[in-house]
Amino acid sequence: MPEGESERTIAECFDCGSAYAAKKWPDGTIQPIGTRNGCQCGSTEFQTVGKASATVLREGQSD
């Protein structure tokens, strides 16, 4: 990743476990896409779950 650019990823809230599409910045900051105030539960701390480009969702598929 070029310096100063973000990486798309999936992030999980530390408090409630909700998952969000997110951007991970070179300084380690994780920011959910589409929300400025963090998680719906009020938390602003997230951990990376995986890369969005590596995740494939298929309609009608179950685990």
pLDDT top residue among 43 and 58: 43
Cβ-contact 8, 53 below 8 angstroms: yes
pLDDT reported for residue 32: 92
The whole-model pTM stands at 0.65
CA proximity to 12, closest of 48, 36, 50 = 48
Q: Which residue has the tokens 């990376």?
A: 48
Question: Tens digits of per-residue pLDDT, 23-55?
Answer: 999 999 999 998 888 899 999 999 998 655 544
For 53, the token pair is 């480009």
Whole-number Å distance between alpha carbons of 57 and 27: 29
